[in-house]
Amino acid sequence: MSGTSAREFRIEDFTYELPDDRIARHPLAERDAAKLLHYHDGMIDDHHFWELPELLPPGTLLVGNATRVIHARLHFELPNGRQIEIFCLDPLEPVDYQRNFSASGSVVWKCLVGGNRRWKDGVTATLNVPHQGDSLQLRAERLGRTDNTFEIRFSWEGAEVAFGPLLDAAGEIPLPPYLGRDAEEDDKDRYQTVFAEIEGSVAAPTAGLHLSERLMAKMRDRNLNWGEVILHVGAGTFKPVTSDTLGGHEMHREYFEVDLLFLERLLAQLRSGQPIVSVGTTTTRCMESIYYFGSKLAYEADFSLPASIDIGQWVATERSYELSPAEAVQALIDRMQVSGRKKIQGNTQLIITPDLSLRMVDGIITNFHQPNSTLLLIVAATVGQENWKSIYRHALTGDYRFLSYGDGSLLWKHKG
């Protein structure tokens, strides 16, 4: 299908009625007790996540998103006593996540502000943060505005205090708005995967929430392999498509990084012919971004490897891609080795439309997503434009729980 046709997909063809009582408001007591819908060869079976290792062929490489959710929601007070909420989205100064979290004294973030009309220009908002048995004052100043987001400078006293631990102490876990409740103590643990490592997300890669330590140990015992990428999930993941067609939707940008060791392991897996399964749509988006960027390097021999990669929304429709996944990954590895790079990083705005064939993975593990969402498009790209409907009908009639704390599915690529 041409790029123009991809833009003409109607979002009304990727919606369904989700009853409110099917949304899981809280996680189950055990992560791997969630139900697992298994789609393969046009068939649907019902299982639980504790059975996942038996459903995967030995030698399968599972790839997870090792991002960690930050305590992005902060409640500040204005001098007149009124409250505002500041929601941290992306770091601006320093723009690098890890440098920002380790900075002391002052940082700048792109943020959403609840109650902005109460916040007069030039006024500093404050928040007292517990610190070493005392309290430390965190200050917030507005620097500028772009559409509905603000540049906010956070500042505090104490050269020994880094922003990461300060944010962790001051903020709250930002639960998805559709849960309709405030974060509770249990969410600090349960809204993180057990393999979360690198802070930066404002939403969890929720497919990974089902993997417990015992389940991952069982996968190792079954000769299942594990690899990790980083894609910091942004608030845009909850943004529904409101335009009639995809061409009118601006896809959100998300930061990602992949290291050379993982790419070498991925290349070996591709050459072996053994399956690759992505844990979550965010991982899938990162993996597909690797393919298109690697292909760009192969097609454009004079294209240098930038310090920060930028993958556009419609990159998949810009040309006919004939390289195999292994060739694309090899091109990326070659360029990294020549330039002495141990990892690549940047932002991806890639939209995976239902007409695309997933290049890098043979299957995905994913939750059940909101109607009218770009995540549902990834499901359609995996199993086919008609099959996703039968899968969701089965889940709705089979008492599956939906969205972030809900049940999940193992979906193999539709061979048609």
Which pTM does this prediction carry? 0.94
Q: Does any domain span residue 176?
A: no
3-state secondary structure 214-233: HHHHHHHHCCCEEEEEEECC
- Residue 98 in domain: yes
Number of domains in the chain: 2
The pLDDT assigned to 113 comes to: 96
Q: Kindly state whether residues 87 and 57 are assigned to the same domain.
A: no
Q: How far is residue 156's CA from residue 91's CA, in Å, rounded to a whole number?
A: 17
What is residue 101's DSSP assignment?
H
C-beta atoms surrounding 89 within 10 Å? 18
Residue with tokens 């790029």: 3
Which residues lie below 8 Å from residue 286, measured CB to CB, with a gap of 6+? 65, 229, 230, 231, 256, 258, 348
Flag whether 242 is in a domain.
yes
- The C-alpha atoms of residue 71 and residue 265 are separated, in whole angstroms, by 33
> What pLDDT does 1 receive?
41
111 with 136, same domain?
Answer: yes
pLDDT of residue 376: 94
Residue 342 included in any domain = yes
Q: The tokens 């409640």 sit on which residue?
A: 75
Give ∠ CA 57-58-64 in degrees, rounded to 5.
85
Give residue 386's pLDDT: 87
Phi, psi of 327 (to 5 degrees): -65, -40
3-state secondary structure of 349: coil
What pLDDT is stored for residue 416 in this prediction?
A: 57
260-305 confidence digits (pLDDT tens): 999 999 999 999 999 999 999 999 999 999 999 999 999 887 778 8
Containing structural domain, residue 30: 3-69+191-412
381 exposure class (CB count in 10 Å sphere: 0-12, 13-18, 19+): buried
Residue 342, domain CATH? 3.40.1780.10
Residue-level pLDDT at 2: 44
Check whether residue 224 and residue 365 sit in a common domain: yes
Residue 291 lies in a domain: yes
In a domain, 185, yes or no: no
Same domain, 225 and 95: no
pLDDT for residue 53:
98
43-48 and 35-40: which strand pairing? antiparallel
- Please report whether residue 255 resides in a domain: yes
Q: Are residues 20 and 85 in the same domain?
A: no
Give the domain-ending residue among 142, 171, 200: 171
Contacts of 412 (CB under 8 A, 6+ apart): 39, 40, 41, 362, 363, 382, 383
Q: Which residues pair with 144 in a beta bridge?
A: 151
62 with 91, same domain: the answer is: no
- Quick one: pLDDT at residue 350? 96
Q: Round to whole Å and give the CA distance between 270 and 275.
A: 8
In DSSP terms, 111 is beta-bridged to 88, 150
Distance of alpha carbon 166 from alpha carbon 268, whole angstroms: 41
Question: 245 and 363: one domain?
Answer: yes
217/163 same-domain check = no
Residues 388 and 376 sit within 8 Å (Cβ to Cβ): yes
φ/ψ (deg, to 5) at 373: -105, 155
Question: What's the Cα-to-Cα distance from 43 to each of 212, 317, 392, 411, 414, rounded to whole Å?
Answer: 27, 31, 13, 10, 11
Residue 347 near residue 254 (C-beta atoms within 8 A)? yes
Which residues of the chain fall below pLDDT 70? 1-4, 416
Are 59 and 100 part of one and the same domain? no
pLDDT value of position 3: 47
* Partners of 76 in the β-ladder: 84
Same domain as 90, residue 51: no
Please give the span between the terminal C-alpha atoms of the chain, in angstroms, as a whole number: 15
Q: Do residue 163 and residue 248 come from a single domain?
A: no
Mark whether 266 and 225 lie in a shared domain. yes
In a domain, 399, yes or no: yes
